[in-house]
Amino acid sequence: MEKLINELRLVVQKRHSRNYIYKQVACIWNFQIIIREIKPNLINMRLYSTNLQAEEVSFETALIAGLAPDKGLYMPKTLPGFSEEELLSLKDEPYPEIAFQILKKILKDEIDEESLKEITYDAYNYDVPLEKVDDITYIMRLDRGPTASFKDFAARMMARLMQYYLKKEERQLTILTATSGDTGSAVAHAFYGLDNIRVIVLFPQDEVSDRQRKQMTTLGENITALSIDGKFDDCQAMVKQAFADEELSHLNLSSANSINIGRLVPQSIYYFYAYLKLRDYPEELIVSIPSGNFGNMMGCVLAKTMGVPIKKILASVNENDEVPTFLDCGKYAKIVPSKNCLSNAMNVGHPSNLSRLIAIYGGEMDEKGNVNRMPDMEGLRQDISSTSVTDKETKAIMKEFFDDYNILIEPHGAVGIKGLRDYRELTKDNTLAVTLETAHPAKFPEEVSSVVGVDPELPESLQKIESGEEHMESLTTDYASFKEYLKMKLE
Ligand SMILES: *Cc1c(COP(=O)(O)O)cnc(C)c1O
């Protein structure tokens, strides 16, 4: 414990520059740091890069840039702490109000209150059901947004925040994003029809479902869909290389996938929401998160850091098990190429958000996956458990939930449920838990109907997409031709 406290102090000192004039208190609580600001209204959010070689920036700069100039990911240097009274005062509020109140405290005067309120109410105009399975288990359905994916939560907020800043400064921007399925459509829909922003989405041609593809290709206007003859990791590598390419810097490229801080912050809100609706402070909650790039899970880490009493974060993954292996043995090895699993939005062999997780626990991982400084593994294991779930187990859960509980689940949600079940079997811990359903079963009709034998009903938002005409362009994984394409398209 003594060693851990010293380690945490070091982390705190490293994160706060000497000329940081406002006093900060780091209190150690449940083995983790909460940085509480004494004068919260006077301090705006500052962000550092996980590679520690770039200057600190404001939220607006990090939001528009996406990736830091040293190729690291931006992380908030400080976060507000939420007290028991503050948390409980939000208990009866609807989702958009909770989002507004929390974001107001995180973003402070990076944005005026009136605009922020308008943005949150406009972004979150759909339900967030908490479905009871049994006395100790709930499913939080994050699948009621316009593209029926949890990524709507982040993408809609980020798009509106970007629009706010770009309009203010009369600037143009091109969003370049790689998707393994759901990000692309959520991002495309979130930005569709906006004036100052163009979107180019790269997707692996054989790894997305028909429906996921149609969600990207039927929009047109400021949205371009690019089909890549490769895997998600190839798409992501191409996007990352384009961002780092100085010869493309004049094109005003920005990212909108899970590496953007503008996506991460809104992904912390639904953990507050689940807690507020299910528990009373200081009762604890366990959360199981189907994870691929670990952006969703990082949102949960942020929520826990801000004071939501989350006892354990379960990062449940498919057969791409590099993170459970890392937590088990402390050695990190990417999986190249990533394995194709039923939960295809989680086929990630090297999650980019891992460097953020490692940063929060005092370590340093570069963009290639080299761990230059080990994080506090004990602290990590205290807060987070990660299990790998096979496709066979995924199918068994989908079937069982339909047969026994009459609850229809798609493959990603099933991975989350199985992760929770494994954890309970191992620890006998029966603390109330919420597991996330990250997409609507209708987004995976073939998988769902072949396993449970019913055709999931299409939500209204997805019905429209089915009938639209598809437009897309195709490229190989060759970076040079991708670069030429961008220049031709954007110069
Ligand atoms: C993107 C996605 C995930 C994984 O989320 P990460 O933030 O990348 O870990 C899980 N389920 C679905 C349906 C997704 O689209």
* Mean pLDDT over each residue of the chain, to the nearest integer: 89
Pocket test for ligand 1, best of 73, 151, 153, 354 (most atoms within 8 A of CB): 151
pLDDT band (50, 70, 90) for residue 259: confident
Q: Which of 343, 341, 345, 297 is nearest to 184 (CA)?
A: 345
**Helix, strand, coil share of the chain (percent; to 5):** 45, 20, 35
User: Beta-carbon neighbour count of residue 15 at 10 Å?
Assistant: 22
Q: Report the nearest-CA residue for atom 1 of ligand 1.
A: 345
> Would you state the pLDDT for residue 466?
75
Q: Are residues 56 and 192 in the same domain?
A: yes
pTM: 0.86
Instruction: Round to whole Å and give the CA distance between 32 and 378.
Output: 11
Q: Are residues 35 and 160 in the same domain?
A: no
Q: Are residues 359 and 489 in the same domain?
A: yes
pLDDT band (50, 70, 90) for residue 39: very low
Q: Are residues 16 and 107 in the same domain?
A: no
Is 295 near ligand 1, meaning CB less than 6 Å away? Answer: yes
Q: Are residues 181 and 251 in the same domain?
A: yes
- Report yes or no: 308 and 35 within 8 Å, Cβ to Cβ: no
Residue 182 CA to ligand 1 centre (angstroms): 7
Residue 346 CA to ligand 1 centre (angstroms): 6
Q: Are residues 15 and 63 in the same domain?
A: no
Domain span holding position 8? 1-42
Instruction: Round to whole Å and give the CA distance between 419 and 411.
Output: 12
Ligand 1 atom showing the smallest separation from residue 299 Cα: 7
Q: Report which DSSP code applies to 338.
A: P
Rg for the chain (alpha carbons), in Å? 21
Ligand 1 atom showing the smallest separation from residue 410 Cα: 13
Is 447 near ligand 1, meaning CB less than 6 Å away? Answer: no
- List the single range of 181-185, 311-315, 357-361, 485-489 with lowest mean pLDDT: 181-185
Alpha helices (runs of H) in 72-150, residue ranges in sequence order: 84-89, 95-107, 113-123
Is 438 near ligand 1, meaning CB less than 6 Å away? Answer: yes
Beta strands in 42-196 (DSSP E): 46-49, 57-58, 74-76, 130-134, 137-141, 173-178
pLDDT at position 364 over 90: yes
Q: Which residues contact 127 (CB under 8 A, 6 or more apart)?
A: 141, 144
Average pLDDT estimate for 56-84: 91
**What distance, in Å, lies between the first and last C-alpha atoms of the chain?**
57
Q: Report the nearest-CA residue for atom 8 of ligand 1.
A: 293
Q: Which of 394, 393, 403 is nearest to 444 (CA)?
A: 394
Q: Are residues 402 and 468 in the same domain?
A: yes
Is 81 near ligand 1, meaning CB less than 6 Å away? Answer: no
pLDDT at position 31 over 70: no
How deeply is 250 buried, as exposed, middle or buried, from its count of CB atoms within 10 A (0-12, 13-18, 19+)?
exposed
Q: Are residues 401 and 378 in the same domain?
A: yes
Q: How many CA atoms lie within 13 A of 407 on its CB side?
A: 22
Q: Are residues 62 and 36 in the same domain?
A: no
Is 54 near ligand 1, meaning CB less than 6 Å away? Answer: no
Residue 163 CA to ligand 1 centre (angstroms): 24
Q: Report the nearest-CA residue for atom 15 of ligand 1.
A: 182
Is 299 near ligand 1, meaning CB less than 6 Å away? Answer: no
3-state class (DSSP) for residue 304: helix
- List the single range of 282-286, 293-297, 441-445 with lowest mean pLDDT: 441-445
CA angle at 150 for the pair 120 and 91, rounded to the nearest 5°? 50
Q: What confidence tens digit (pLDDT) does each residue in 328-356 have?
A: 999 999 999 999 999 998 999 999 899 99
Residue 22 CA to ligand 1 centre (angstroms): 37
Q: What confidence tens digit (pLDDT) does each residue in 449-482 have?
A: 999 999 999 888 788 777 889 999 999 999 999 9
Is 413 near ligand 1, meaning CB less than 6 Å away? Answer: no
Residue 62 CA to ligand 1 centre (angstroms): 22
Instruction: Round to whole Å and give the CA distance between 412 and 301.
Output: 20
Q: Which of 307, 376, 351, 362 is nearest to 84 (CA)?
A: 307
Q: Which of 450, 312, 456, 457 is nearest to 391 (CA)?
A: 450
Instruction: Round to whole Å and give the CA distance between 447 and 395.
Output: 9
Ligand 1 atom showing the smallest separation from residue 413 Cα: 11
pLDDT at position 290 over 70: yes
Residue 469 CA to ligand 1 centre (angstroms): 26
Pocket test for ligand 1, best of 291, 313, 398 (most atoms within 8 A of CB): 291
Q: Report the nearest-CA residue for atom 14 of ligand 1.
A: 345
Peptide bond into 94 cis (omega under 30): no
Pocket test for ligand 1, best of 257, 296, 314, 323 (most atoms within 8 A of CB): 296
Instruction: Round to whole Å and give the CA distance between 205 and 231.
Output: 8
Instruction: Round to whole Å and give the CA distance between 350 and 362.
Output: 20
Q: Are residues 140 and 203 in the same domain?
A: yes
Q: Are residues 28 and 48 in the same domain?
A: no
Which helix (H) or strand (E) covers residue 314, if one does? strand 310-317
Q: Are residues 13 and 63 in the same domain?
A: no
Ligand 1 atom showing the smallest separation from residue 443 Cα: 13
Instruction: Round to whole Å and give the CA distance between 451 and 414.
Output: 12
> Would you state the pLDDT for residue 22?
29
Q: DSSP characters for 273-295?
A: HHHHHH--TT--EEEEEE-SSSH
Of residues 9 and 283, more confidently modeled: 283
pLDDT at position 362 over 80: yes
> Would you state the pLDDT for residue 463?
83
Is 346 near ligand 1, meaning CB less than 6 Å away? Answer: yes
User: Residue 162 is part of a domain; what is its CATH number?
Assistant: 3.40.50.1100
Structural domains counted in the chain: 2
Q: What confidence tens digit (pLDDT) does each residue in 78-109 have?
A: 889 999 999 999 999 999 999 999 999 999 88
Of residues 211 and 55, more confidently modeled: 55
